Amino acid sequence: MINRSLKQLSQALAAREISSLELTTLFLDRIDRLNPTLNAFVTVDREKSLKMASAADARIAAGTAGPLTGIPIAQKDIFCAEGWTTTCGSKMLANFVSPYDATVIQKMHAEAGLVSLGKTNMDEFAMGSSNETSFFGPVRNPWDTSRVPGGSSGGSAAAVAARLAPAATGTDTGGSIRQPAALCNLTGLKPTYGVVSRYGMIAFASSLDQGGPMAASAEDCALLLNTMVGFDERDSTSLDRPVEDYARDLDKPLNGLRIGLPKEFFGEGCDAEVMAAVRAAIAEYEKLGATTVEVSLPNSHLSVPAYYVIAPAEASSNLSRFDGVRYGFRAEDYANLDDMYMKSRAQGFGAEVKRRIMIGAYVLSHGYYDAYYLQAQRIRRLIADDFVEAFKHCDVIMGPTSPTTAFKLGEKAADPVQMYLSDIYTIAVNLAGLPGMSVPCGFVGGLPVGLQLIGNYFAEAQLLNVAHRYQQATDWHQRRAAIE
């Protein structure tokens, strides 16, 4: 049961082969058993989950169930959920119980009838690529527990990879869904900016953040994405578009699909064996009827520097609300107001968060704004234009998700720049606001490799189709980490 797809679980629930209560209990027990090793969850609340499962069973019995009603999933601890401790991986919010539901949570709970198993560990305020910046300790990769699961949605990735949950939510600001998906052999999708509401999703970099699904297959991602999307009047950057079924095109043949291969993604900087796996996947696509064309993203080498101006700038302001005044952590002893601010923030935030706040405050400060922030915004525009040009010649862009497989815990923790380069292939997608996916495409030394798919704006259904057809022809995504 734990290895079943969302569709199979849905059928099992509909056929009364199993109840949501039983299914939820099955996963909760597995979490109890394996989480001490993996540290994938920071909060589990059996009582709450079982209550939701009972309610789902009632809906199933009443015939008012939706396609995923009663299926348990894991929620990244960046989504506020009413009554749940919502920490964002930080000491700053270690005691924060959200009084409200994020729009995504509300849609999943109230509308879809999904059951939340708990909140998953993550890099503090989603700042990290290894899940080592979490106040609650690192998450371990189920494929090799001496290695990182990637980040920042590392807890969600590890949870699904170890089958502690059939699927999970993640968020992606510079690669935080796709990179951990690649490192944990999952399928993950970052939608077009504005497709998934950001209301209640604790902001890291508002113009880049986007929530999305992480699961074992493209089909599972499509079904989960269907429950997450939709216009939200509480999010001014949410897009008012017709509702679509992201699973509708899954089976479409790929004949005539034009795959763009950016020469910048196939040059130096990527592990050779990872690159070989990616090339093999592209060859598989050619067998499925696709053609390839070389394209260019000439400004992609500027994406990491531009990102590390824009994201910290927004973060430095977004994180100002964590001041110890109204909620969250406050230092115990302080002399006056300024001292309270300084001590609370010095003690409440970890090193990486403080580093980014300082970078952000610097690039926004008087005299530096034009040289850094405005310049980065110009580069951002150029990067987006590169994609517009590339998509004149192709339908989907492919390349590696991450330049390496999962690295060892601690390996890059001391070198922020090396860590930042883990996201070298994923960041441009966020800067452009495009949808991107990572799909399992092989193994190097027993560690998973991810193939990145980048689509044009609102091409989620097409990306899922392209991923699904590949998964019909290959079995990489069906391989499971041997953790018990």
Partner 1 sequence: MNQWEVVIGIETHAQLATVSKIFSGASTAFGAEPNTQACAVDLALPGVLPVLNKKAVDCAIRFGLAIGAEVAKKSVFARKNYFYPDLPKGYQISQMDLPVVVGGQILLQVGQGDKAYEKVVRLTRAHLEEDAGKSLHEDFHGKSGIDLNRAGTPLLEIVSEPDMRSSDEAVAYAKALHALVQWIGICDGNMQEGSFRCDANVSVRPRGQAEFGTRREIKNLNSFRFLKEAIDFEVQWQINEIDEGRKIQQATVLFDPDTGETRMMRSKEDAHDYRYFPDPDLLPLVISSDWIARVQSELPELPGQMRERFISEFGLSNYDATTLTANSEIAAFFQLTVGIAGKQNAKPCANWVMVDLAGRLNKDGKEIAESPVSAAQLAGLILRIADNTISNNIAKKVFEALWNGEGATADEIIDKQGLKQITDSGAIESLVDEVLAANPANVAEFRAGKEKAFNALVGQVMKAAKGKANPQQVNDLLKKKLAG
What residues are labeled active site? 76, 152, 176
Hey, which bits of 139-224 come out as E strands? 167-171, 187-190, 211-215
- For residues 241 and 461, give the distance between their C-alpha atoms in angstroms, rounded to a whole number: 14
* CB-nearer residue toward partner 1: 3 or 365: 365
* CB-nearer residue toward partner 1: 102 or 139: 102
Residue bearing tokens 């989480």? 35
* CB-nearer residue toward partner 1: 207 or 474: 207
Other Cβ atoms within 10 Å of 329 Cβ, number: 20
Tokens of 43: 């909060």
DSSP code per residue over 73-88: EEEETTB--TTSB--T
Distance of closest approach, residue 191 Cβ to partner 1, in angstroms: 17
Distance of closest approach, residue 324 Cβ to partner 1, in angstroms: 10
Contact (CB, 8 A) for 115 and 84: no
Residue type, 265: F
- Collapsed DSSP state (helix, strand, coil) of residue 398: strand
Contact (CB, 8 A) for 138 and 132: yes
Contact (CB, 8 A) for 166 and 223: no
Other Cβ atoms within 10 Å of 416 Cβ, number: 16
Sequence-distant (≥ 6) Cβ neighbours of residue 318 within 8 angstroms: 203, 204, 205, 206
The contact set with partner 1 (CB under 8 A) reads: 79-80, 86, 88, 93, 96, 98-100, 102, 198-203, 205-207, 233-237, 313-314, 316-317, 319-323, 325-327, 337, 341, 361, 364-366, 369, 373
- For residues 94 and 71, give the distance between their C-alpha atoms in angstroms, rounded to a whole number: 28
Residue bearing tokens 């993640």? 170
Sequence-distant (≥ 6) Cβ neighbours of residue 474 within 8 angstroms: 281, 284, 441
Distance of closest approach, residue 471 Cβ to partner 1, in angstroms: 33
Distance of closest approach, residue 205 Cβ to partner 1, in angstroms: 8
* CB-nearer residue toward partner 1: 8 or 206: 206
* CB-nearer residue toward partner 1: 266 or 369: 369
DSSP code per residue over 79-129: B--TTSB--TT-GGGTT-B-SS--HHHHIIIIII--EEEEEE--SGGG--S
Distance of closest approach, residue 236 Cβ to partner 1, in angstroms: 5
Of residues 100, 117, 108, the one with CA closest to residue 44: 117
Contact (CB, 8 A) for 211 and 170: yes
Of residues 27, 34, 30, 33, the one with CA closest to residue 49: 27
Distance of closest approach, residue 339 Cβ to partner 1, in angstroms: 12
Residue bearing tokens 């059939």? 166
Distance of closest approach, residue 102 Cβ to partner 1, in angstroms: 6
* CB-nearer residue toward partner 1: 90 or 133: 90
- For residues 1 and 12, give the distance between their C-alpha atoms in angstroms, rounded to a whole number: 9
- For residues 265 and 301, give the distance between their C-alpha atoms in angstroms, rounded to a whole number: 10
* CB-nearer residue toward partner 1: 86 or 120: 86
- For residues 7 and 82, give the distance between their C-alpha atoms in angstroms, rounded to a whole number: 28
Distance of closest approach, residue 99 Cβ to partner 1, in angstroms: 7
* CB-nearer residue toward partner 1: 166 or 324: 324
Distance of closest approach, residue 234 Cβ to partner 1, in angstroms: 6
- Collapsed DSSP state (helix, strand, coil) of residue 449: strand
Q: What is the DSSP letter of 15?
A: T
* CB-nearer residue toward partner 1: 92 or 290: 92
